[in-house]
Structure 1
Amino acid sequence: ASDVQTPTLAPAEPAPAASGDGVQLQYRTAPPPGYPIAALRAGEQGTVTLRVQVDADGKPAAVSIERSSGSRVLDNAARQQVLRHWRFVPAQVDGRAVPAVGLVPVSFSLPE
Structure 2
Amino acid sequence: MARKLTATSLAIGLLIGMPALAQDSTPGRPVTNPGTWISAADYPASALRNAEQGAVHFALTYDDTGMPTTCEVTASSGSSQLDDTTCRILMARARFVPGTKHGKPVGDTFRSSINWRLPGGGGGNGLNVVPAPTKQQMAFVVGADGKVLRCEASENGGAWHEVAPGTGLISCPVGKRFAPAKDTTGRTVAKRVTVTFTIAVDDAS
Partner of 1:10: 11
Within 1, Cα distance between the matches of 2:18 and 2:76?
Answer: 18
Count, aligned residues:
104
**Change in 2 beyond 3 A, CA 1:24/1:72:** farther
Within 2, Cα distance between the matches of 1:39 and 1:19?
Answer: 34
**Change in 2 beyond 3 A, CA 1:41/1:62:** same
**Change in 2 beyond 3 A, CA 1:24/1:8:** farther
Cα distance per residue 1:53-104 (max 9 Å; x no partner): 1111111111111111110000000000011111122122234310112312
- Name which one, 1 or 2, has greater alpha-carbon Rg: 2
Q: By how many angstroms is 1:36 displaced? A: 0.2
Within 2, Cα distance between the matches of 1:101 and 1:56?
Answer: 11
Unaligned runs of 5+ residues in structure 2 are 1-7, 121-205
Partner of 1:3: none
Partner of 1:32: 38
> Is residue 55–residue 90 contact of structure 1 (8 Å, CA) maintained in 2?
yes
Within 1, Cα distance between the matches of 2:16 and 2:94?
Answer: 12
Q: By how many angstroms is 1:16 displaced? A: 5.9
Residue range with higher mean Cα deviation, 72-81 or 25-34: 25-34
Unaligned runs of 5+ residues in structure 1 are 1-6
1:105 maps to 2:113: yes
- CA RMSD across the alignment: 2.6
Cα distance per residue 1:3-37 (max 9 Å; x no partner): xxxx51223xx6264589x7855221342050000
Per chain length, whose mean CA-contact separation is higher, i.e. which structure has more relative contact order (CA < 8 Å, sep 6+)?
1
The sequence identity of aligned pairs, in percent, is: 28
1:82 maps to 2:90: yes
Within 2, Cα distance between the matches of 1:71 and 1:25?
Answer: 30
Match of 1:94 among 99, 102, 119: 102
